[in-house]
Chains A and B, each alone.
Chain A
C-alpha cells in the first residue's frame, strides 16, 4: 500500500523552471538508479529545476549545489512532488 502511494508523483519533466521538487520515486533498473544516486539524485532529495530546453531538449537541475543536465527520457522516469 505504502509502495503504491510512493509510486505516485509527477514526472520531473512537467515541473516548470524555478520550482523546487522532492524526489518520490525513480523508475527503472538498478543500474539506472545507481547512476543517478552517485550524482546525489536519490529518493527524498529536494531538487531545483533550472531550465528546460525547448523541443523536448534536456533539463538542467540543481541537487546538493551541483547543476547537471539530464535527458528528457531520464527526467520522465524521475517522479517528484512540488515543494513550496
Chain B
C-alpha cells in the first residue's frame, strides 16, 4: 500500500506478472486488484490496496485500504522517493501499528535527476524495517524487494502519536537521511507550472483535449477497419448467412437475424439480435471504449489529469460537482456506460446524481453522435451545430439548476497535483485491459438482458402501441409527423433502430433537428439505464428519469416554437 500516484500498481504488476484479477471490494464500489506470487517456492496472495494518505479514512477507498491493511500479514509500503516527506506520514502510521513492514523506495531513478540524495541505509536504521530502492518502471530493485520480503518486521520503537508530533518526527528523519542539492528548474517543473496557470494552461488544455480526441479516433478507427470489420464481414457474416438459410423465414429468423437487405445481412440495418445486436456493441462501440480508456490512462499516468481537473474545477463546481467531473463526461462521449461507472469517483450522492443525470441528458455517446451525423449530415453542418449547441446549453443550465435544488453536499476540490511522469506503455496497456475487462463484466450481462427485453417488447408490439397513443401529441407539441412517436418510443431503448424509423418519414431538416435532439436527450440506451439504476439506486433513478423526460419534452416544444412558431 501507499499514497496515490507513487507507482504502487506498477510495483504490483512487477511482482505478480500476468495473473491479476480486478474486483470490487464486497459491499462497496471500490475496485482493487489481486494477484499471486511465489516467495521461496511458497505461493502467496498479494493485493494492490487503493491509494491512501493516512490510516484514518476520509473516503470509501481509504476505508477499504484500512480494512485491507488490518487483514494483511505483511505490508509492502510503496513510497515516492522524490517526495519522501509527505509519504513518510502514512509510513509512520503504518509502523505505529505493529505489523511486519517492508518499504519500497520507488521512483529511485528520478531522485538523481532532481538532485535529491537519500541515505536509504540510514532510513532503514531509523525506521527499523527493510528499505529497498526500486524503479518499478524498469524493474530495477524488484528482485531485491522480493528476496527481502521475508525480512519484513514490525517497528516496535515507533508508538502511536498525534498529527503534530508525527510531522515533527518526519522533519527530524528528513534532516538525517535526505540532502537536496540546489534545485534547478527541470523541464518538468517548467511544464508543470505552464500547464496549471490559467493564462497558458487553458490554451494548453484545449490542445491536449483535441489531441486526446484525435488519439481516440485513430485508435478506434484502426481497431474497426483492420480488426473488427474484417472479422464481422469475412468470418462472421458467412456463418450468419448459413444460419439465415437454415432458419428460413419467420419469427425466430426475424428475432435472431433480422431483415435481409438485398438478400444479404447488413450489420447496421438488419436489426437481429445476432447481427446488429452484436455488431453495434462489439464492432462499433467497444473499439471506442478501448480507445477512451487507453487515452484516459495516459492522461492519468502522465499526471496531467489533476491539472485538467484544476483548470475546469471552476465550471464543474458551479454545476454541483468538482474538477473530477470531467472524467465521466469524457468517457461518456465514447459510451455512456463507462461514463456512468466513472461517476463513482465523485464523493457524495449529490455529485454522483448530478453527474449521472447530465451525462444521460447532454452527453451523446459515439453511437448517438453517429446517429446525429447520419440523420443530419446531408443537410449541412449548420443543423448538426444546432443539436450540439442545444446539448452544451442544457448541460450548463441543468447543472446550475440541479446544484441549487438537489439536497446534499458538494465538497470542494482537494487533490494532489503529482509531478509529471513519462507514462509506461506497458502499465497503460495493462490498466486499459483491466478496465475494459472490468467494464465487460459489469456492463455486458445487463446489456444482454436489456436488449432482450426491448426486442421482446418491440416484437410483441407494446412499444408501437404506446407510440400510437402519443401520435396526436406529436404535431401539436413538437411539429413532427405523428409516426415519429413510435420512433421516439422505440428510441427510449434503442437509438440505432429509432433513426432508421425516422428517416422514411420525409421530415424537413428542422423537424429532424427536433426529433434527433429529443432522441439524444430524453433517455440513455438500455445499457446505460440499467447501469445507472445500479449506481444511483431505484429512487434517484426515477428522479433522474423524470428530469430527462421533462427536459426532452420542454426542449422539443421550445425548438418547435423557435422554428415554426406557436402552435
Contacts and interface: CB of A to CB of B under 8 A. Distances in A.
B347 to A, nearest CB: 12
A13 interface: no
A67 B417 contact: yes
A58 B167 contact: no
Interface in A30-84: 34-35, 37-40, 42, 45, 50-51, 53-58, 60, 63-74
Contact of B323 (A35, A39, A55, A69): A69
Given A40-B85, A69-B417, A60 B196 contact: yes
Nearest to B193: A50
Contact of A51 (B82, B163, B198): B198
Contacts of B313: 53, 57-58, 69, 71
Interface in B277-317: 306, 309-311, 313-314, 317
Contacts of A57: 198, 313-314, 317
A53 B198 CA distance: 6
Interface string B407-423: 00001111111110000
Nearest to B310: A69
Given A71-B412, A73-B412, A74-B412, A53 B86 contact: no
B110 interface: no
Contact of B413 (A34, A37, A42, A58): A58
Nearest to B183: A65
A58 to B, nearest CB: 5
B53 interface: yes
A40 B89 contact: yes
A60 B310 contact: yes
B322 interface: yes
Nearest to B52: A38
Contact of B414 (A50, A66, A74): A74
A39 B4 CA distance: 12
Given A37-B163, A70-B414, A58 B310 contact: yes
Contacts of A39: 53, 86, 416
B550 interface: no
Interface string B45-89: 000000001101010000000000000000000000011011001
Interface string B22-57: 000000000000000000000000000000011010
A50 B83 contact: no
B169 to A, nearest CB: 13
B97 to A, nearest CB: 16
Contacts, number: 100
A17 to B, nearest CB: 8
B197 interface: yes
A51 B197 contact: yes
B192 interface: yes
B436 to A, nearest CB: 30
B234 interface: no
A51 B202 CA distance: 13
Contact of B56 (A34, A45, A66): A34
B413 A71 contact: yes
Nearest to B56: A34
Contacts of A64: 83, 85-86
A66 B6 CA distance: 12
A6 to B, nearest CB: 14
Contact of A53 (B306, B311, B419): B311
B413 A66 contact: no
A3 B197 CA distance: 36
Contact of A38 (B82, B89, B310): B89
Given A39-B416, A65-B86, A74-B412, A50 B196 contact: yes
Contacts of B306: 69
Interface in B196-225: 196-198
B413 A70 contact: yes
Contact of A72 (B58, B167, B412, B417): B412
Nearest to A35: B58
A38 B412 contact: no
Nearest to A61: B417
B125 interface: no
Nearest to A31: B58
B164 interface: yes
Contacts of A58: 310, 313-314, 317, 323, 412-413
Interface string B160-182: 00011001000000000000000
Interface string B111-123: 0000000000000
B66 to A, nearest CB: 13
B314 A53 contact: yes
25 contacts: A34-B56, A34-B58, A35-B414, A38-B56, A42-B167, A45-B167, A50-B193, A51-B193, A51-B197, A55-B314, A57-B313, A58-B323, A63-B86, A64-B85, A67-B196, A67-B419, A68-B415, A68-B416, A69-B313, A69-B323, A69-B415, A70-B412, A70-B414, A71-B413, A72-B412
Given A58-B412, A66-B416, 9 more contacts: A38-B163, A40-B85, A53-B310, A60-B310, A66-B85, A68-B414, A69-B313, A69-B415, A72-B412
Interface of B: 53-54, 56, 58, 82-83, 85-86, 89, 163-164, 167, 192-193, 196-198, 306, 309-311, 313-314, 317, 322-323, 411-419
3 residue pairs, one from A and one from B, having the closest CB atoms = A71-B412, A57-B314, A67-B417
